Chains A and B, each alone.
Chain A
Amino acid sequence: METYIQIIANGLMLGALYACIAVGFSLVWGVLNVINMLHGSFIVLGGYLAFFAWAQLGVSPFVMLFVVAAALFLLGFLIQYGAINRVVSKPVLLTLTLTFGLDLILYNFMNVVFEATPRRITLDLGSLGIGEVMLPYDRLLAMLLALAMTGILYWVLRSSRIGRAIVAVRMDRDAAALMGIRVNKVYAITFGISAMMAGACGALMAVVYPITTNTTGLLLGKAFTICVIGGLGSVPGALVGGLALGLIESFAGTWLGAQYAILIGSLLMLTLLMVRPTGLIGKRGYE
C-alpha cells in the first residue's frame, strides 16, 4: 500500500513540476497563438541566474526566484515588443520560425557564457517522511509554486484589468483594439508573464535538477506535450495536463519499467489528439 502511495506522490510531485514548466508556454500559445520555441531556454536561463547568484554571491534560490522572475519578465516583454509583435498577426509558421531563430541565439549565448557543464544548487533540503513514504521538500515547494502560479494567473486573467484585456485580446484582437486596448502592449505583457514563470520555474528547478543548456529542447518538448494533453490555450489545462502526465509516467515507470515511461506519455498525447483534440479540459473551437 505504501508503495502505491509513494508512486502517486512521485507522480503528483513530478506532475506539479511539469505544470510549472508548461503554464507560461500555454499562456503564450493561448493568447498570442505563438508556439514559443524560446520557452525551454527561458527556463534554463532562470536556472543559471539562480545558480550563479547562489554560487558567487550566496543568494538563496528562493530569494533569487523573485529577481529572476522580474529579469525574465523584462526580457520577455522586450523580445515580444521589439521582435515578435512585428509578425504576431502573420501565419503561425512565421512566428514559430522567429522564436526558433531567437532561441538559437539565446541557446548559443548561454552555451558560450555558461558552458554546458551540468550545475546544480546543492541545497538539499531533505524529505518529509510519512511512514515509508518520502516527500522531498524541494519537490513539494515546486508543487506549491506551480499551484500558486496557476492560481495567480487564473485570478489575474479573470479579475484584474490587465487580465480582462488579455482575455479580450485572445477572444477578438480587432474588437479589443476598437475598445481602446493597446494590443501590442498586452501581447508584450503576456509574453513577459510567460517568461517570468519560466524563469521562476528554472530557478526552482536548479535546486532539484542539474542545469545545462542540454535540457532546453527536452523542457520545450515536455511543455508541448503537457499543453496538448491538458488543452491548448488553457492555463488550468496546463496544471491538469502536467499532473496527468506525471502520474502516468510514474505508474508506467513502476509497472512497465523506466524505459516505457516516456513512451506511454507520448501515446497518451497521440490518443488524445485523435479522440479529444481539445485536450482534457480545453475548449472546443479555440484556435
Chain B
Amino acid sequence: MNLNKHLARLLPLVWLACAGGAGAADEVRIGAPLALTGSLADAGKKQQAAFALWQERVNAQGGIQVGARKLPVKLVSYDYQSDERRAQQLAEKLITQDKVDLMTAPFGSGHAKVVAGVAERYGMPIVAVSSSEPVHNQGYRNLFGTLAPSVGLVDAMIGHFKQNLPALKRVAVLGRDDVFPRIMATTLEKQAPAAGLEVVYSALYPVGSMDHSAALTSLKAARPDWIYVTGYTQDLILVRKQMADLGISAPVVTMITGPAYREFVDGLGPLAEGVTSATWWHWSQNNTGDDVFGSTAAFTEAIRARTGGDPDYVHASSAAALIVLQKAIEAAGSTDRDAVRAQLAKMDVQTFYGRIKFRADGMNDNRELPIIQVQSGKPVVLYPAAMAQGRLQAIGQ
C-alpha cells in the first residue's frame, strides 16, 4: 500500500521528465556564447538583438523544416562577460551539457578563434559572425564565417581612393596589435606599393595604450596624405581626438572600422566628419533573398523597430549566420553534424545580407564590400556605384 502511495507521488515527476525529454528532441537547439557584459558588450548586444529577431520570425512561421517536420528553434545562450576563458568553458558546456545541435561564435576574431577551437574538438559546425583570416587559417573543418576576407576591404579602398584622388602618394599606417586590427594594418602595408602608394610610416600600438601622441608626432613628421588607423572604437576615438589636438590632418583619414559604428560618430561629434572606412554591409544595400527577412530594407526596419537605431554590419552578419544554419539544416533534412557541415560547405545563397558562399577556409567569398565616409554626421556609402549615396570628399578641401 505504502509502495503504491510513493509510486503515485512519483508519477507526475516521471511524466514531467518524459515530457522534458520529448520536448528537447522536438526543437532545434542552437548554442550562442554572447558577450553581454564587459568590453565587447556593445557588439554582444547587437548580436543578441539580431538573433532574437531571427528566432521570433522563424518560430512565427512554425520553425525550421527538418525533413518532414517543422521544429521550433531554441537559442541557448550565455553571457561570457567578454572573458576568453569563460567563452571557452561555456562553449564546452553548450556542447556537452546543453547538447546543442549547432553553434554560433561570439563577436571578435579573438573570441571566435577560441570558441571555434572548442567546436572543432567536438566536430560541431559553427558559424562565426565576425572572424578574420587569422581565425580561418587554423585548418578548422567546422568553422564558417559570414564576413568576407579583410583583403577585400583593403583592395576596395585602395582602388576607390586612388581613382578619386589620384594625387594620393604617401600613406601612414597605425594599427592596434590585436588579431583583426593587425591583419587590416599589415594587409594595407602589403597592398599599398602595388597601387603606387609609399608607406611613409608604419607602427603597431599595444593593447591597453592610453595615449597615441608619441606615435602621432612621428606620423606627423612623415607628412602622409592618407592616414590609415585600425583598432576598436575606443582606440579610434582617442586617436582621432589626439590627431586634432596635435594639428594632424590629411586629405584622407581612414579608421577601420570606426564609422561603421554609431558610437564612433557619437563619441567624436564634429571630429568624425570626413573619416572613411570599409565595412562588410550597410543598411542602404538593396539585397533581396529567400530568408525570414526577405530584403535589406525589411531587416533594417525590423532592427530599427527593435533597437531604435540603424543596424550595422554586426546586426546583419549575426542574422546572416543563423540564416545559413537554417538553410543548411533544411537542405540536410536533419541536424546531423556531418550532414549540416556538408551543406554549409557547398552553400551558395542570396540573402538580405548579400550572397553567402563559403571558401575552402570557411570565409564568405563576397567581394562587393561598401566603403563609407562620415558626411554631415552620418555614414554615407561611396562604393560600390550601385549603392553609392555620395562621392568621396577630401578632408580640408
Contacts and interface: CB of A to CB of B under 8 A. Distances in A.
Contact of B234 (A6, A139, A210, A254): A210
What does DSSP make chain B's interface, helix, strand, loop or mixed? helix
Given A3-B217, A134-B245, A218-B208, A116 B42 contact: yes
A174 B177 CA distance: 51
Interface in B88-147: none
A127 interface: yes
Interface in B190-241: 203-206, 208-215, 217-218, 221, 233-234, 237-238, 241
A209 B204 contact: no
Nearest to B272: A122
A118 B221 contact: no
Contact of A118 (B177, B208, B214, B234): B234
Interface stretch (B6-14, B263-271, B288-296, B329-337): B263-271
A250 B214 contact: yes
A111 B203 contact: no
A254 B246 CA distance: 14
Given A10-B214, A214-B39, A254-B217, A262 B245 contact: no
B287 interface: no
B219 to A, nearest CB: 9
Contact of A122 (B38, B209, B212, B270): B270
Interface in A192-210: 208-210
Given A117-B42, A120-B237, A10 B217 contact: yes
Contacts of A253: 211, 213-215, 218
A118 B263 contact: yes
A158 B186 CA distance: 55
A112 interface: yes
B203 A258 contact: yes
Interface residues of B, number: 42
A209 B238 CA distance: 6
Contacts, number: 135
B174 A116 contact: no
B237 A118 contact: yes
B214 A136 contact: no
A252 B214 contact: yes
Interface residues of A, number: 47
A271 interface: no
A119 interface: yes
B166 interface: no
B233 A112 contact: no
A98 B66 CA distance: 52
Interface string B245-277: 111000000000000000100111111000000
Contacts of B205: 258-259, 261
A213 B38 contact: yes
A9 to B, nearest CB: 9
B37 A117 contact: no
Contacts of A10: 211, 213-214, 217
Contacts of A6: 217, 246
Contact of A127 (B218, B246, B267): B246
A264 B177 CA distance: 16
Nearest to A118: B234
B38 A214 contact: yes
A112 B213 contact: no
Contacts of B233: 118, 210
B45 interface: yes
A254 B218 CA distance: 6
A122 B265 CA distance: 11
Interface in A232-287: 249-254, 257-259, 261-263
Contacts of B241: 120, 124, 208
A11 to B, nearest CB: 8
Nearest to B37: A111
Contacts of B204: 257-259
17 contacts: A10-B211, A10-B213, A17-B210, A108-B37, A111-B37, A111-B41, A115-B41, A116-B82, A119-B267, A120-B268, A122-B269, A122-B270, A212-B39, A213-B38, A251-B214, A253-B213, A258-B215
Interface of B: 37-42, 45, 82, 174, 177, 203-206, 208-215, 217-218, 221, 233-234, 237-238, 241-242, 244-247, 263, 266-271
